[in-house]
Chains A and B, each alone.
Chain A
Amino acid sequence: MQMPDPDAGVIARRDDIAARLSGAVADKSAVITDPAETRVYECDALSAYRCAPLAVVLPSTTQEVAAVLRICHEEGVPVVPRGAGTSLAGGSMPTADAVVIGLARMTGVLEISTDDRLIRVQTGRTNLSVTGAVEGQGFFYAPDPSSQLACAIGGNIAMNSGGAHCLKYGVTTNNLLGATVVLMDGSVVELGGPMGEGPGLDLLGVICGSEGQLGIVTEATLRILPKPEGARPVLIAFDSAETAGACVAAIIRSGILPVAIEYMDRPCIHATEDFCGAGYPDCEALLIVEVEGSEPEITEQLSLIGEIAHRFAPLEFRESRSEEESRRIWLGRKSAFGAMGVISDYMCLDGTIPVSQLPHVLQRIGEMSAEAGLRVANVFHAGDGNMHPLILFDANAPGDLERCEALGADILRLCVEVGGCLTGEHGVGVEKRELMSAQYSDADLEIQMRIKDVFDPHWLLNPAKVFPLATSAPRRDRHAA
Chain B
Amino acid sequence: MRPDSEADLAAMIRAANGTLSITGGATRLRPGEGQGARIDMRGLSGITLYEPEALTLVVRAGTLLADVHKALASEKQMLGFEPDPRPGSTIGGVAASNASGPRRVSAGACRDAMIGLRMVTGSGEVIRNGGRVMKNVTGYDLVKLAAGSRGTLGALTEIALKTAPVPPQRATLRLSGLNDPGAIAAMTVALTGPFDVTGAGRLPDRTVILRLEGLPGSVEYRASALRRALTDRGDVQIVEGDADFRTLRDYPRTATAVLWRIVLRPSQASQLLAGLPGRHAIDWGGALIWAEAAPGWQPDLPPGAQADAVAGTVQTLPAPDPVTARLNAAIRAEFDPRGLFAGGS
Contacts and interface: CB of A to CB of B under 8 A. Distances in A.
A83 B104 CA distance: 30
Contact of B128 (A208, A293, A440): A440
B139 A116 contact: no
Interface stretch (B20-28, B202-210, B236-244, B264-272): B264-272
A355 B132 CA distance: 10
Contacts of B306: 193-194, 197-199
B112 to A, nearest CB: 5
A200 B218 contact: no
A294 B194 contact: yes
A420 B130 CA distance: 10
Nearest to B152: A201
Contacts of B128: 440-441, 444
A296 interface: yes
A199 B305 CA distance: 10
B320 interface: yes
Given A226-B192, A252-B54, A297-B217, A445 B139 contact: yes
Interface string A148-160: 0000000000011
Contact of B140 (A174, A210, A255): A210
Interface stretch (B33-41, B86-94, B163-171): B163-171
Given A226-B194, A451-B334, A444 B327 contact: no
Interface string A225-241: 01111000000000000
A114 interface: yes
A299 to B, nearest CB: 8
B232 interface: no
Interface string B308-330: 00000000101111011101101
A293 B214 CA distance: 11
B218 A300 contact: yes
Contacts of B164: 257
B334 A116 contact: no
A138 B195 CA distance: 13
Contacts of A432: 138
Given A195-B263, A297-B221, A443 B56 contact: no
B167 A255 contact: yes
Interface in A290-342: 293-294, 296-297, 300-301, 304
Given A200-B328, A427-B137, A193 B165 contact: no
A-side interface size class: 35 or more
Contacts of B176: none
Contacts of B127: 441, 443-444, 447
B299 to A, nearest CB: 14
B191 interface: yes
B78 to A, nearest CB: 11
B131 A205 contact: no
Given A117-B192, A297-B215, A356-B54, A201 B331 contact: yes
Contacts of B318: 199
Contact of A421 (B126, B138, B188, B331): B138
Contacts of B266: 115-116
Contact of B111 (A114, A138, A205, A455): A205
Contacts of A252: 53-55, 165
Contact of B267 (A115, A173, A187): A115
B287 interface: yes
Interface residues of B, number: 86
Given A189-B324, A195-B287, A436-B139, A116 B265 contact: yes
A243 B192 CA distance: 40
A106 interface: no
Contacts of B330: 454
Given A189-B324, A356-B51, A426 B137 contact: yes
A220 interface: no
B144 A173 contact: yes
Nearest to B264: A194
Contacts of B195: 226
A199 B133 contact: no
Interface in B140-180: 140-145, 147-149, 152-153, 164-168
Contacts of A209: 137, 140-141
Contacts of B129: 444, 447-448
A355 B142 contact: no
B141 A206 contact: yes
- Tell me which of A187, A356, A447 has the highest count of chain B C-beta atoms within 10 A of its own C-beta: A447
22 contacts: A115-B188, A116-B267, A159-B137, A170-B112, A194-B264, A194-B304, A195-B104, A199-B318, A199-B324, A209-B140, A227-B194, A293-B218, A352-B135, A354-B56, A355-B54, A424-B137, A427-B137, A441-B127, A447-B121, A447-B129, A450-B334, A451-B334
Given A226-B195, A249-B53, 13 more contacts: A195-B288, A206-B144, A252-B53, A252-B165, A354-B132, A385-B134, A385-B135, A436-B139, A440-B138, A440-B139, A443-B125, A450-B334, A466-B139
Interface of B: 51-56, 75-76, 98, 104, 108-109, 111-112, 121, 125-129, 131-145, 147-149, 152-153, 164-168, 188, 191-196, 214-215, 217-218, 221-222, 225, 263-267, 284, 287-288, 304-306, 316, 318-321, 323-325, 327-328, 330-332, 334-335, 345
